[in-house]
Amino acid sequence: MPSPIHALVLALAALATTTLATPTPADYHHTATHSKRVTYHPSDRHDYCGEVAVARYTYGPAAPLITDCQAIPRAHPGPGYWSITPADTLAAGGDRWVRLATSGTCAFEVRAERRTGQGDKDLFEWNFGTNDLNFYSGRVGWGKEGKGDGREAVASTVGCITTRVGEGRWVDVGWRTTLA
């Protein structure tokens, strides 16, 4: 008869073996790639934007697969945030969409909405947190389930706080899921 410690070790080994062999849902096999251009900061601060967002949906072949988009928040490094600098915004090109993460056919992108009419002079640094990414891509975007074809893109605008020292002002930030 094995000792109680030996029996415990055997039980834990059996549990680990069966746990490791348990199949996972197919959509868990997606891995999200995070932008190498935008700086990510691990941090307890991970919520920089409001939670009121009126979503606009697009369906069909021009939209990403819902399962790919759902993989992004599950794979983010969190908790933490991305710093989006003026250089990141300018490097994104004329439409100013900055890509934070991709998974399969889906990309999650953000941009500061122009408000001042001053062109590139209205660029500044702002943060987008992993909680923000979770909320928008994981809760807001998938209520209509792609109208049956498994594809759906979603976009909205929310208020996020800037990182300008002493200002603490809010800026409108657009976010979207789009084809990668």
13 Cβ neighbours under 8 A, 6+ residues apart: none
Provide mean pLDDT across the span 23-30: 34
Q: Is the pLDDT of residue 43 over 80?
A: yes
Residue ranges of the domains in the chain? 30-179
For the chain, how many helices (H) and strands (E)? 4, 9
Q: 11 in helix, strand or coil?
A: helix
Write out pLDDT tens, residues 54-110: 788 888 899 999 889 988 888 876 799 998 988 888 888 778 899 999 999 999 999
Q: Is the peptide bond before 77 cis (omega within 30 degrees of 0)?
A: no
**Identity at 6, one-letter amino acid code:** H
Average confidence score pLDDT of the chain:
73
Mean pLDDT of 120-130: 79
CA distances from 144 to 15, 106, 140, 150, 180 (A): 39, 17, 10, 10, 21
pLDDT band at residue 14, thresholds of 50, 70 and 90?
A: very low
Contact of 136 with 173, CB cutoff 8 Å: no
10 Å CB burial of residue 151 (0-12, 13-18, 19+) is buried
Range scoring the smallest mean pLDDT among 6-15, 118-127, 144-153: 6-15
Q: How far apart are CA 57 and CA 61, in angstroms?
A: 13
Q: Which range is least confidently modeled, 19-33, 47-61, 98-112, 121-135?
A: 19-33
